[in-house]
Amino acid sequence: MASKLETLTRWVDEVAALTRPARVHWCDGSDAEYRALVQQMLATGDLIELNQDTHPGCYLHRSHPSDVARVEHLTFVCTTDRENAGPNNHWMAPAEAHAKIDALFDGCMEGRTLYVIPYCMGPIDSPLSRCGVEITDSPYVVANMRIMTRMGAAALARIEREGAFVRGLHSTGELDPERRFIMHFPEELAIKSYGSGYGGNALLGKKCHALRIASWQARTEGWLAEHMLIVGIENPQGRTHYVAAAFPSACGKTNLAMLIPPEGYRRDGWKVWTVGDDICWMRPGADGRLYAINPEAGFFGVAPGTSTATNSNALKSIARDTIFTNVALTADNQPWWEGLPGTPAVDWQGRPYDPANGPAAHPNSRFTVSARQCPTWSPRAEDAQGVPISAIVFGGRRPSLLPLVMEARDWAHGVLMGATMGSETTAAATGAVGVLRRDPMAMKPFCGYHYGDYFTHWLSFDRPGAKLPKVFHVNWFRKGADGRFLWPGFGDNLRVLEWMIARVEGRARGVETPVGILPEPGELRVDGLALAPGALEELLAVDVPGWQAELDAIGDYLESFAPRLPARLRAERRRVAAALADDEPLAARA
């Protein structure tokens, strides 16, 4: 299978001339092709067959120990004007970047197969979807892209009809950390990645295209490409509200996307529908509402912490036809990670398990699986027009100050909430764990242009005729004086979503505070919860001096994006700060 599109075939020929592969294979996305790739990787040791009685169609891949997470310090946005990349990105001039990385690509595929992967991000017939082509020398990448995107003949047909696509060139190279770069050229709609086989660096349809390049496309074309899950909440009356929610990696996105209602809620008829767990593309519809698609077709989830107690739907999803990366093994060849029953026999590096070597599974070990295998997969996930979004939720991992839930008073306040959210870092990115960093809209590693321009783009959706979602901020991770979490989280987070939906439908009054609208006493259902005495009051308390210090820190942070910081956002911060100063009696109420 080759292409009738001359620009595509010419590009493939140019890349082949540079990289000099032994052969070129155009991927068709068929079952037979996938089976052949698996057999090839089993023969080379790139894949290890797992226990086919307990996990049919499942395999394990082990990364090089230096190649286990995204490498933000080696990830560049290469725009002609440095200012357009912004202080939130590492920048390199396009000519310099092309020269540097093309020197690495020179001859890098000798003796290897060059795979051409046509793919579609989003439902194949959706006007919201965008296509790309990834060239790679990694059969592991091909197998994962088949799961994570709509890949193959149908995608190629759409590319040939439209004549436009994002170009992605990838090689694992030598897996040398000193010869590793992930380059983005948004003005060219192009990506070049060298020296890594890890998902976020190598599956170019994922973070590279669906966020960094797509965020640039979205600003140009009038939509939003966001690091958000999409979940549908169906009430006992059969009405479904769709919620988009942004959390930094490993802060519970997948758990929320596949949430299992508490027993009482299930008995009453509440249901949860999973549309996506990581990326959301939203576009205004003819009726003024925002409509969203999940551009991905699969889940690339963090394995540790996934258990029957935390996310049984995820466990059910990955019981078959799944690629595991950097997990441990039991003695009978089942995948294992911390949080699962049983005992690991072999760690993620293939060594006999020894606690002295650290965790059995890498903290950022992963599973790749088709979204259709999720028991709560939404029948509307493939809707070409997308699903209407009722609420946008921002959240982070904050041990103090941020209440369990608060609603923005309007869109500008919601953008401020998203622009200033912070979270403790996790193992999903290289570097220290547990450090608080600002992560606007959970897009800090993924926004493909200047954050000041990004905030301006968000604010631009507030226009006459728009019926925008309500905006909320949540914090599942607030701790008490004893260091324990005050809120049980997981399935009980539906209680908070229920209040949000009541606010969307006008059935909950809430209480106005300077920092946002909080639930009135009695509005948040807590029946059946074993909350510590005073825990709910602490979860919803507004610490005025603490918030005043927070607003000062937020002001300093926002000014780092001047002179492109929108004046409306600066004014909104001043409004909240003034409201705090005027509301001293609030301290007594808290």
Residues recognised as catalytic: 251
Within 346-469, strands assigned E span 366-370, 387-395, 405-407, 422-424, 436-438
- The span from the CA of 67 to the CA of 199, in Å, is 10
Which distant-in-sequence residues (6+ apart) come within 8 Å of 304 by Cβ? 337, 338, 339, 359, 361, 363, 365
Give me the residues paired with residue 225 across strands: 281
Q: Is 254 flagged in the annotation as binding?
A: yes
Long-range contact set of residues 422-426: C-beta below 8 Å, sequence gap at least 24: 422/396, 422/398, 423/247, 423/248, 423/251, 423/396, 423/397, 423/398, 424/396, 424/397, 424/398, 424/399, 425/248, 426/248, 426/249, 426/250, 426/251, 426/397
Q: Is the dihedral angle over the CA atoms 333, 334, 339, 342 positive or is it negative?
A: negative
Q: Is 490 flagged in the annotation as binding?
A: yes
Q: Is 198 flagged in the annotation as binding?
A: yes
Q: Is 200 flagged in the annotation as binding?
A: yes
3-state SS, residue 16: helix
Q: Is 253 flagged in the annotation as binding?
A: yes
3-state SS, residue 251: coil
- The span from the CA of 529 to the CA of 460, in Å, is 41
Count of residues for the chain? 590
Within 38-165, strands assigned E span 48-49, 59-61, 75-77, 90-91, 113-121, 130-136, 150-151
Q: Is 414 flagged in the annotation as binding?
A: no
Q: Is 285 flagged in the annotation as binding?
A: no
Q: Is 227 flagged in the annotation as binding?
A: yes
Q: Is 364 flagged in the annotation as binding?
A: yes
Supply the DSSP symbol for 210: I
Q: Is 252 flagged in the annotation as binding?
A: yes
- The span from the CA of 516 to the CA of 500, in Å, is 13
Q: Is 278 flagged in the annotation as binding?
A: yes
Which distant-in-sequence residues (6+ apart) come within 8 Å of 530 by Cβ? 488
CA atoms within 13 A on the CB side of 302: 23
Q: Is 235 flagged in the annotation as binding?
A: no
Residue 553 CA from chain centroid, whole number:
26
- The span from the CA of 366 to the CA of 375, in Å, is 19
Residues 176, 177, 181: CA angle, nearest 5 degrees: 100
Say how many Å lie between the first and final Cα of the chain, rounded: 66
Binding-site positions for substrate: 70, 198-200, 249, 364-366
Binding-site positions for GTP: 250-255, 366, 397, 490-493
Binding-site positions for Mn(2+): 207, 227, 278
Binding-site positions: 70, 198-200, 207, 227, 249-255, 278, 364-366, 397, 490-493
